[in-house]
């Protein structure tokens, strides 16, 4: 019997280890249920997701994923069933807790798919080990410990190094490798604190074994199959989320591949999983010996990757299986002729590359290990490993054109050190090592990376040398393209322009071919529109028909400052275009964690780089009516100029307007001309000029290079000394804008749609934190709670003036400062903004649809906005993953995601929003630690908090405080110290490691103190 | 220095690539395989005799080629026969620096040693699509030195001269004389070798069955002299209708009550022996991901397959369909309505490929053990 109503749990705000992939899997699951006529109810405070649109989920609750809230929803909605496997570890843990508390039974709620018993069997390491070993299969030698003493005993039995793992955590949180007893103590303490059941596992450390993953499916009739396997470039010891991953495996023989496959199927049967799971193996590089490392009994980052790598819609099928379908009853959506019971065969190779953002975090350790640190990932498809690898390096958008595009004069010692101690740069140092004459064997010895991979890197380096050494004839150019060199990198090597290479290439008829991904390696005809480009081919797979078509550029890799919110914008724009009757809407994106890269979302998907070269390649083949660059965040926006220069038709706001807004100097000049208020500013070239200006306006100042997203290179500078330091660090840019930094000012964001001369102001968002906190890190509320009538009026007038004079056609975002009645403009983006999904959901109007109306020159009457609720959007941080990182926000954005909650009152929305991002609101009588400077004006805050909580301060005995933190007796820390001394930093960092909520902003603390009473 | 190579198909399609292995010329039936691992096993599978194989997976040779180590029965641990069986190999990206602990040679060296020409740098997806659309074709591969001129007309004439049945022949693939493998178990099965893969023999030995491998044309009387408690009819190359002698023998064997198990070509031969019919598939099932369903209990399995011919379900007499292909509904296994005779088109012995259906050997062994002579 099919259920009538199903409750689905989402994964909450995006954080390291739990990102956009769960929007993708949740959306697919919801779609699968909807197809069956089942009503769905979703709980997920992640406002920026596509799954929280009501056209995907039947009903959405933006609430913190806490059992209390889930119970409330269950009471209200009375669903018959619940889905736990599509919201990451968060949803899984909620499910286990619901079961433990007897709530599933109480409300007669049936779990669809994999049952709680199975989840526990997979997640509880002890049970897991027992189950696996009872079937004669191998897991690493290990023992569980509930105390540090126990941990030590086990470790000495197994022998160091050992790895410490924590039950029920995501992304390896709390895990670590201990080489000796001292390290063990430290890691065990943190691990025990973070475990839901206060238990850790001490395990044999399989250093330098290959790390292999299998994605496995099973239906209720015990039919099993694998979707694909994947091989980690980096061996055991580096979290798979931080590894370069290749699909399918490259260095495994038939025996190894199928041995692990057979074991995978045994394991999924043992655990009685219905749906999908991910199994991780360690494989000895010197024999066929193996260990089963872990099983994720749910959709995961790896399953999203596998889904995109093969074209097999894993989450969709898993959802159907949970309803009781068998694999052979479900159609293969790619062929539409065959069924879902088959194992995809790939005729290409896929490389996934993680994206780290260490530069955003002060004090962070860049070393890669068993805890995941990357923020996002890109996936590249090619016909050779070299081609895919080099594409992937470009896709993560760190400014490298390929693995050889890394200039550093490093000594052999330095290179050796970098290969031995992996960071985000190891790949580049390996290439460097080859250039410096290290042999592949030596590099393998140092890194543990299979020599096969190293020899592929060697191939790339060899070609780089050939390009440099010889005249660029057709043969060398073609070879370079086949090995993934971009025109730009070749041009750098040949000291000419990118355009020269493009011309030469086309003259020699060297153009990439379009290939389909069809899950069957061409064996059967497929209807797929899932495409990529390669130079290792001899023909295009598809014909290019003349149709009314438009291209939408996606957001590319997720990073700090550009995440799932831009995917929401892209997908909604594409859907809106479809509604408008555009025959073919084409998406270009390279991020496997997105909904936009679901091939059935749009007419055509190019899983490709968002680069000028690649966009032109596609543009020239497809010959579309235009291209939309304004909904995918800064990446597509940044290449708008180059594209326009190459006669690409940009739909929406013209490039000259984009330029006027993005170039800080042009923009400031424009504001002056319009007589719109802005902080005192000056366009500066060098250090000297900057310092002169700063003297005039007085510090602090804010300095920023042009064309940046999320504050890269932007900094508030307090004095001349720091300014000098800044110039020492920044080398790349030479075009800056310095402006006076206005202290204690309110910040306000305006989101809207420009219709040329007309404007629709969709939302005025008031920040709780004063200016100085990056807008992506701040807490925002709609409607405004403290702005006056005249301030709002001024903001509206300025907005209208800017929009109509820049002739904005499509989405825009303007940031203002408000101080003592003054309204000053600080920034304007002629593209969709981070807050647009929030605003759209708040006002019930899809801004992307309005944006499309404008871009297609269709006028509409503007919807009238009335606020029934308050909405508060909060930033989601991931400091707990980033060892050593300072949690004090600055103008550089630090948050990895966002959540939003709504409420009849500001208080309700605010407190829920904090809870949703992980600040569990302490209950009356709890201990709260408040760290403030002497003589600061924080006494009001403390007074208010003291009414409800037991306040501890920096006056208390430090050792006592640390002990209370370690025992998690302190339930919240508010740290408002101006200059952090190491002592206080240690305390704060400890809170993060111990999972104690932290507030570091005074305004936020103030509102909090007012709201909790 | 790389060598030049061309591929010529009987429809006149000419594709240029680079050569590896041995500098020579080869003619065969061009077929594709979609498996992503297991080239040492695939290339030594006698069912590929006379064929030019196209690999859809582009990266080939990554883990090199292992040593030809023998197990206790003298059967190779790593290969399916003693030599490369295909005529030539067409791939996209040849790995020049393979790495694996069991590696002995590179693919290039192995091909050179066995005097087989190979081509790389080919868009094998494009070629596969062509074969899919136009059906399997005969073709020629030629590796040549720079100066040599290629005369398409002459080469085409060469292709036309070759008779498919001659090169894809069971006669070539089968053993010349009988051979006994003693597992130490007592029941004895006779395996009619039409081009058997070592893994089939090994799968039987593993179940404590002694195996007598006999030539494809061994007579009924000769077979019965071994007092077999079970008969296996192996895989092999080519058109089943060319194996008239074997079909006759099977007819006689089916009159006894000895359990019979057919694999791949064996299935087709059993069908013909019962008066059924076989036909050539437009493009063969060649890969490791073919879904099959057991028509009796509805269980699904992923199977390794390598067959260009199939049994016509409508022509079956006394037999019913045991397995069918979920994708195209073709017959993948048959079962006698009353007797202990069954056969599958896929490869339960895997190697290369998934091991899901290895239990079929258990089923057969059970029949053998239960059979009273």
B97 annotated active-site: no
pLDDT at A4: 96
- Select from B57, B100, B355 the Cβ nearest to the Cβ of A347: B57
A445, with CB counted inside 10 A (0-12, 13-18, 19+), is middle
Least confident of A176-185, A493-502, B15-24, B49-58: A176-185
B126, A539: Cβ pair inside 8 Å?
Answer: yes
Are residues B35 and B134 located together in one domain of the fold? yes
B300, A347: Cβ pair inside 8 Å?
Answer: no
A223, B62: Cβ pair inside 8 Å?
Answer: no
Q: In angstroms, rounded to a whole number, what is the distance separating the alpha carbons of residues A503 and A616? A: 12
> Which residue of chain A is at minimal alpha-carbon distance from B289?
A343
Domain boundary (A80, A99, A116) is at: A116
pLDDT at A190: 86
pLDDT, average across residues A359-379: 92
Q: What is the CATH number of the domain that holds A978?
A: 3.40.50.1380
pLDDT at B261: 98
- A587 pLDDT exceeds 70? yes
Mutation for testing the A interface, residue in B125, B308, B324 having most A CBs under 10 Å: B125
Nearest CA to A518 among A599, A614, A586, A589? A599
Q: How far is A452 from chain B (nearest CA, A)?
A: 5
Q: In angstroms, rounded to a whole number, what is the distance separating the alpha carbons of residues A501 and A520? A: 36
Q: What is the mean pLDDT of chain A?
A: 93
Name the active-site residue from B264, B285, B290, B292. Answer: B264
Q: What is the value of pTM for the model shown? A: 0.95
Are residues A751 and A731 located together in one domain of the fold? no
B41, A254: Cβ pair inside 8 Å?
Answer: yes
- A981 pLDDT exceeds 80? no
Q: Where are the alpha helices (DSSP H) in A531-633?
A: 564-579, 612-622
Q: What is the largest CA-CA distance in chain B?
A: 68
- A905 pLDDT exceeds 70? yes
Q: Which two tokens stand for residue B29?
A: 């039936």
Tens-place pLDDT, residues A834-848: 999 999 999 999 999
Reported as a pLDDT band with limits 50, 70 and 90, residue A41 is very high
Tens-place pLDDT, residues B21-79: 999 999 999 999 999 999 999 999 999 999 999 999 999 999 999 999 999 999 999 99
Are residues A687 and A759 located together in one domain of the fold? no
B288, A223: Cβ pair inside 8 Å?
Answer: no
**Residues facing residue A716 across a β-bridge:** A702
Are residues A647 and A529 located together in one domain of the fold? yes
- Select from A252, A265, A349 the Cβ nearest to the Cβ of B59: A349
pLDDT at A440: 97
pLDDT at A261: 98
In a domain, A390, yes or no: no
- A170 pLDDT exceeds 60? no
Are residues B331 and B261 located together in one domain of the fold? yes
pLDDT at B344: 98
In a domain, A354, yes or no: no
Are residues A519 and A643 located together in one domain of the fold? yes
In a domain, A576, yes or no: yes
pLDDT at A772: 85
Q: Which two tokens stand for residue B113?
A: 């040693």
Q: Does A690 touch chain B (CB under 8 A)?
A: no
Q: Are A13 and A899 in contact (CB under 8 A)?
A: yes
- A711 pLDDT exceeds 60? no
For residue B63, list chain A residues with Cβ-Cβ distance below 8 A. Answer: 251-253, 452
φ, ψ dihedrals at A341, nearest 5°: -90, 90
B166 annotated active-site: no
pLDDT at A169: 61
Reported as a pLDDT band with limits 50, 70 and 90, residue A897 is very high
pLDDT at A954: 81
pLDDT at B147: 80
Are residues B203 and B283 located together in one domain of the fold? yes
Reported as a pLDDT band with limits 50, 70 and 90, residue A708 is low
For residue B288, list chain A residues with Cβ-Cβ distance below 8 A. Answer: 343, 345
Q: How far is A346 from chain B (nearest CA, A)?
A: 6
Are residues A686 and A818 located together in one domain of the fold? no
Least confident of A254-268, A888-902, B237-251: A888-902
pLDDT at A408: 85
3-state helix, strand, coil split of chain B in percent (to 5) is 25, 35, 40
Q: Are A617 and A533 in contact (CB under 8 A)?
A: yes
Are residues B188 and B158 located together in one domain of the fold? no
- Select from A253, A262, A285 the Cβ nearest to the Cβ of B37: A253
A925, with CB counted inside 10 A (0-12, 13-18, 19+), is exposed
Are residues B152 and B196 located together in one domain of the fold? no
Are residues B131 and B187 located together in one domain of the fold? no
Domain boundary (B141, B167, B193) is at: B167
- A1 pLDDT exceeds 80? no
Are residues A330 and A272 located together in one domain of the fold? yes
B168 annotated active-site: no
Are residues B87 and B212 located together in one domain of the fold? no
Reported as a pLDDT band with limits 50, 70 and 90, residue A743 is confident
Q: What is the mean pLDDT of chain B?
A: 95
Reported as a pLDDT band with limits 50, 70 and 90, residue A971 is very high
Reported as a pLDDT band with limits 50, 70 and 90, residue A889 is low
Question: Of the ranges A40-49, A180-189, A655-664, A765-774, which is most confident?
Answer: A40-49
Q: Does A384 touch chain B (CB under 8 A)?
A: yes
Least confident of A73-77, A464-468, A700-704, B22-26: A700-704
pLDDT at A734: 66
pLDDT at A704: 79
Are residues B212 and B305 located together in one domain of the fold? yes
Are residues A648 and A519 located together in one domain of the fold? yes
Are residues B273 and B150 located together in one domain of the fold? no
- B1 pLDDT exceeds 60? no
What is the domain range of residue B199? 170-370
pLDDT at A989: 84
pLDDT, average across residues A631-635: 94
pLDDT at A168: 61
In a domain, A884, yes or no: no
- A710 pLDDT exceeds 60? no
Q: How far is A977 from chain B (nearest CA, A)?
A: 56
Q: How far is B276 from chain A (nearest CA, A)?
A: 27
Q: Does A523 touch chain B (CB under 8 A)?
A: yes
B291, A521: Cβ pair inside 8 Å?
Answer: no
Are residues B110 and B258 located together in one domain of the fold? no
> Which residue of chain B is at minimal alpha-carbon distance from A335?
B327
pLDDT, average across residues A654-665: 87
pLDDT at A858: 84
Are residues A842 and A815 located together in one domain of the fold? yes
Reported as a pLDDT band with limits 50, 70 and 90, residue A491 is very high
Q: In angstroms, rounded to a whole number, what is the distance separating the alpha carbons of residues A496 and A491? A: 5
Q: In angstroms, rounded to a whole number, what is the distance separating the alpha carbons of residues A465 and A404? A: 10
Q: Give the pairing type, strands A200-204 and A142-145.
A: antiparallel
B92, A383: Cβ pair inside 8 Å?
Answer: yes
- A450 pLDDT exceeds 70? yes
Q: In angstroms, rounded to a whole number, what is the distance separating the alpha carbons of residues A837 and A847? A: 8
Q: What is the CATH number of the domain that holds A57?
A: 3.40.50.20
Q: In angstroms, rounded to a whole number, what is the distance separating the alpha carbons of residues B333 and A602? A: 40
Least confident of A111-125, A187-201, A465-479, A514-528: A187-201
Q: How far is B243 from chain A (nearest CA, A)?
A: 28
> Which residue of chain B is at minimal alpha-carbon distance from A285?
B101
Q: What is the CATH number of the domain that holds B248?
A: 3.40.50.880
For residue A326, list chain B residues with Cβ-Cβ distance below 8 A. Answer: 298, 300
- A936 pLDDT exceeds 70? yes
pLDDT at A172: 60
Tens-place pLDDT, residues B174-225: 999 999 999 887 789 999 999 999 999 999 999 999 999 999 999 999 999 9
Are residues B153 and B183 located together in one domain of the fold? no
Domain count, chain A: 7
Q: What is the CATH number of the domain that holds A703?
A: 3.30.1490.20
Tens-place pLDDT, residues A301-354: 999 999 999 999 999 999 999 999 999 999 888 777 788 999 999 999 999 999
In a domain, A470, yes or no: no
- A356 pLDDT exceeds 80? yes
Domain boundary (B167, B200, B217) is at: B167
B327, A524: Cβ pair inside 8 Å?
Answer: yes
In a domain, A758, yes or no: yes
- Select from B98, B287, B326 the Cβ nearest to the Cβ of A345: B287
> Which residue of chain B is at minimal alpha-carbon distance from A220?
B299
Are residues A926 and A814 located together in one domain of the fold? no
Cβ-based neighbours of B127, under 8 Å, separated by 6 or more? B7, B15, B30, B32, B54, B90
In a domain, A879, yes or no: no
Are residues A315 and A218 located together in one domain of the fold? yes
- A241 pLDDT exceeds 70? yes
Are residues A774 and A812 located together in one domain of the fold? yes
pLDDT, average across residues A439-466: 97
Q: Which two tokens stand for residue A444?
A: 């393998």
- Provide the phi-psi class of A821: left if phi over 0, else alpha when psi is between -120 and 50, else beta: left
Q: Does A331 touch chain B (CB under 8 A)?
A: no
Mutation for testing the B interface, residue in A215, A254, A288 having most B CBs under 10 Å: A254
Interchain CB contacts (distance < 8 Å): A and B: 166
pLDDT greater at residue A61 or residue A959: A61
What is the domain range of residue A841? 746-829+835-865
User: Cα angle vertex A181, ends A178, A185, to 5°?
Assistant: 80
Tens-place pLDDT, residues A74-88: 999 999 999 999 999
Cβ-based neighbours of A772, under 8 Å, separated by 6 or more? A716, A741, A743, A890, A891
B287, A513: Cβ pair inside 8 Å?
Answer: no
Domain boundary (B136, B167, B198) is at: B167
Domain count, chain B: 2
Tens-place pLDDT, residues B165-176: 888 889 989 999
Q: What is the CATH number of the domain that holds A759?
A: 3.30.470.20
In a domain, A253, yes or no: yes
Are residues A762 and A714 located together in one domain of the fold? no
pLDDT, average across residues A735-759: 91
Are residues B178 and B295 located together in one domain of the fold? yes
- Select from A225, A248, A384 the Cβ nearest to the Cβ of B36: A248
């Amino acid at each position: 019997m099919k259920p009538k109503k199903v409750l689905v749990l989402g994964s909450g705000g995006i954080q390291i280890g739990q990102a956009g992939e769960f929007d993708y899997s949740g959306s697919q699951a919801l779609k699968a249920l909807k197809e069956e006529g089942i009503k769905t109810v979703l709980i997920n405070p992640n406002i920026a997701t596509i799954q929280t649109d009501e056209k995907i989920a039947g009903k959405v609750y933006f609430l913190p994923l806490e059992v209390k809230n889930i119970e409330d929803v269950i009471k209200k909605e009375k669903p018959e069933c619940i889905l736990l496997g599509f919201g990451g570890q968060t949803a899984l843990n909620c499910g286990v807790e619901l079961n433990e508390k007897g709530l599933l039974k109480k409300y007669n709620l049936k779990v669809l798919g994999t049952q709680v018993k199975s989840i526990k069997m997979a997640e509880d390491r002890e049970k897991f080990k027992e189950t696996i070993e009872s079937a004669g299969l191998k897991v690493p030698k290990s023992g569980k410990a509930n105390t540090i003493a126990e941990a030590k005993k086990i470790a000495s039995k197994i022998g160091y190094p050992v790895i410490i793992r924590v039950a029920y955590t995501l992304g390896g949180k709390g895990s670590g490798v201990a080489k000796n007893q001292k390290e063990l103590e430290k890691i065990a303490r943190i691990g025990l604190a973070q475990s839901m059941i206060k238990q850790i596992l001490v395990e044999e450390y399989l250093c330098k074994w290959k790390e292999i993953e299998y994605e496995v499916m099973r239906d209720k009739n015990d039919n099993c199959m694998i979707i694909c396997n994947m091989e980690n470039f980096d061996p055991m010891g580096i979290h798979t989320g931080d590894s370069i991953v290749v699909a399918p495996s490259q260095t495994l023989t038939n025996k190894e591949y199928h041995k692990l496959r057979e074991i995978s199927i045994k394991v999924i049967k043992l655990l009685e999983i219905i749906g999908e799971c991910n199994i991780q193996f360690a494989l000895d590089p010197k024999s066929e010996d193996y260990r089963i490392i872990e099983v994720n009994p749910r959709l995961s980052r790896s399953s999203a990757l596998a889904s995109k790598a093969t074209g097999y819609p894993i989450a969709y099928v898993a959802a159907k299986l949970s309803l009781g379908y068998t694999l052979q009853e479900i159609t293969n959506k790619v062929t539409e002729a065959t069924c879902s019971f088959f194992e995809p065969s790939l005729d290409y190779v896929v490389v996934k590359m993680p994206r780290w953002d260490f530069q955003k975090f002060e004090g962070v350790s860049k070393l890669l290990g068993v805890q995941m640190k990357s923020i996002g990932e890109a996936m590249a498809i090619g016909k050779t490993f070299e081609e895919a690898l080099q594409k992937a390096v470009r896709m993560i958008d760190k400014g490298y054109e390929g693995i050889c595009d890394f200039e550093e004069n490093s000594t052999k010692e330095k290179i050796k050190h970098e290969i031995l101690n992996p960071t985000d740069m190891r790949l580049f140092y390996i290439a460097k090592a080859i250039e410096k004459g290290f042999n592949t064997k030596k590099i393998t010895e140092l890194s543990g990376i299979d020599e096969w991979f190293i020899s592929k890197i060697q191939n790339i380096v060899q070609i780089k040398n050939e390009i440099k050494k010889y005249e660029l004839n057709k043969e060398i150019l073609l070879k370079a393209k086949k090995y993934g060199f971009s025109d730009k990198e070749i041009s750098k090597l040949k000291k000419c322009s990118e355009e020269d290479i493009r011309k030469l290439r086309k003259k020699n008829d060297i153009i990439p071919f379009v290939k389909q991904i069809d899950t069957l390696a061409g064996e059967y005809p497929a209807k797929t529109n899932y495409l990529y480009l390669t130079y290792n081919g001899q023909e295009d797979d598809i014909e290019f028909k003349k149709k009314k078509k438009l291209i939408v550029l996606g957001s590319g890799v997720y990073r700090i400052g550009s995440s799932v919110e831009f995917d929401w914008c892209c997908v909604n724009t594409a859907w809106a275009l479809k509604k408008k009757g555009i025959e073919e809407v084409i998406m270009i994106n390279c991020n496997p964690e997105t909904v936009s890269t679901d091939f059935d979302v749009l007419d055509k998907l190019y899983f490709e780089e968002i680069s000028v070269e690649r966009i032109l390649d596609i543009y020239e083949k497809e010959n579309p009516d235009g291209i939309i660059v304004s909904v995918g965040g800064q990446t597509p926006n940044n290449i708008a100029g180059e594209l326009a220069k190459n006669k690409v038709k940009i739909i929406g706001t013209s490039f000259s307007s984009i330029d006027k807004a993005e170039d800080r100097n042009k923009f400031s000049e424009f504001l002056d001309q319009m007589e719109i208020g802005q902080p005192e500013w000056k366009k500066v070239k060098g250090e000297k000029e900057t310092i002169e200006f700063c003297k005039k306006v007085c510090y602090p100042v804010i300095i920023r290079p042009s064309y940046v997203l999320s504050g890269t290179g932007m900094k508030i500078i307090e004095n001349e000394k720091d300014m000098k330091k800044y110039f020492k660090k920044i080398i790349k840019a030479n075009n800056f804008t310095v402006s006076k930094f206005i202290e204690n000012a309110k910040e306000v964001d305006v989101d809207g749609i420009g219709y040329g001369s007309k404007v629709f102001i969709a939302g005025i968002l008031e920040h709780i934190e004063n200016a100085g906190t990056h807008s992506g890190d701040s807490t925002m509320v709609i409607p405004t709670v403290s702005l006056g009538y005249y301030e709002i009026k001024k903001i509206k007038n300025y907005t209208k003036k800017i929009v109509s004079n820049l002739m904005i056609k499509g989405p825009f975002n303007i940031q203002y400062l408000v101080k003592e009645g003054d309204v000053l403009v600080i920034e304007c983006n002629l593209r969709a903004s981070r807050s647009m999904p929030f605003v759209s959901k708040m006002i019930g109007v899809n801004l992307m649809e309005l944006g499309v109306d404008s871009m297609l020159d269709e006028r509409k009457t503007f919807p009238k906005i009335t606020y029934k609720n308050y909405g508060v959007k909060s930033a989601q941080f991931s400091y707990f993953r980033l060892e050593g990182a300072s949690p004090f926000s600055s103008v550089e954005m630090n948050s990895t995601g966002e959540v939003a909650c709504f409420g009849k009152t500001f208080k309700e929305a605010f407190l829920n929003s904090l809870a949703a991002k992980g600040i569990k609101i302490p209950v009356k009588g709890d201990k709260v630690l408040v760290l403030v400077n002497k003589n600061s004006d924080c006494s009001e805050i403390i007074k208010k908090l003291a009414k409800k909580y037991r306040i501890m301060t920096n006056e208390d005995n430090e050792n006592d405080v640390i002990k209370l933190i370690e025992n998690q007796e302190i339930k919240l820390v508010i740290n408002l110290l101006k200059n952090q001394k190491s002592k206080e930093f240690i305390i704060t960092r400890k809170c993060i490691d111990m999972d104690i909520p932290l507030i570091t902003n005074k305004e936020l603390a103030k509102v909090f103190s007012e709201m909790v009473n | 220095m790389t060598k030049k190579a061309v591929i010529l198909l009987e429809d006149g399609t000419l594709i240029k690539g680079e050569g590896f292995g041995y500098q020579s010329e080869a003619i065969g039936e061009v077929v594709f395989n979609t498996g992503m691992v297991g080239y040492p096993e695939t290339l030594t599978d006698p069912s590929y005799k006379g064929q030019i194989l196209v690999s859809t997976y582009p990266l080939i040779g990554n883990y090199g080629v292992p040593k030809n180590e023998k197990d206790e029965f003298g059967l190779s641990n790593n290969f399916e026969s003693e030599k490369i069986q295909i005529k030539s190999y067409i791939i996209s990206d040849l790995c020049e620096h393979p790495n694996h602990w069991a590696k002995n040679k590179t693919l290039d060296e192995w091909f050179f040693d066995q005097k087989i020409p190979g081509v790389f740098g080919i868009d094998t997806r494009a070629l596969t699509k062509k074969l899919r659309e136009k059906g399997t074709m005969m073709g020629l591969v030629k590796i040549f030195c720079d100066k040599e001129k290629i005369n398409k007309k002459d080469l085409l004439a060469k292709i036309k001269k070759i008779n498919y049945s001659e090169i894809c022949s069971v006669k070539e693939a089968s053993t010349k004389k009988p051979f006994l493998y003693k597992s130490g178990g007592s029941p004895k099965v006779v395996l009619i070798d039409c081009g058997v893969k070592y893994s089939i023999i090994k799968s039987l030995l593993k179940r404590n069955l002694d195996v007598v491998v006999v030539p494809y044309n061994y007579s009924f009387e000769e077979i019965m002299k071994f007092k077999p408690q079970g008969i296996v009819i192996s895989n092999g190359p080519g058109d089943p209708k060319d194996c008239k002698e074997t079909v006759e023998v099977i007819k006689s064997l089916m009159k006894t009550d000895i359990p019979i198990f057919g694999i791949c070509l064996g299935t087709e031969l059993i069908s013909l022996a019962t008066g059924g019919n076989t036909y050539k598939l437009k493009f063969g099932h060649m890969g490791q991901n073919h879904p099959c369903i057991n028509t009796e209990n509805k269980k699904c399995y992923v199977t390794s397959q390598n067959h260009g011919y199939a049994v016509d379900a409508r022509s079956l007499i006394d037999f019913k369909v045991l397995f069918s292909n979920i994708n195209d509904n073709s017959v993948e296994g048959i079962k006698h309505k009353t007797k202990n005779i069954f056969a599958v088109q896929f490869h339960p012995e895997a190697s290369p490929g998934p091991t899901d259906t290895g239990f079929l050997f258990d089923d057969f062994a059970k029949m053998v053990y239960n059979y009273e002579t």
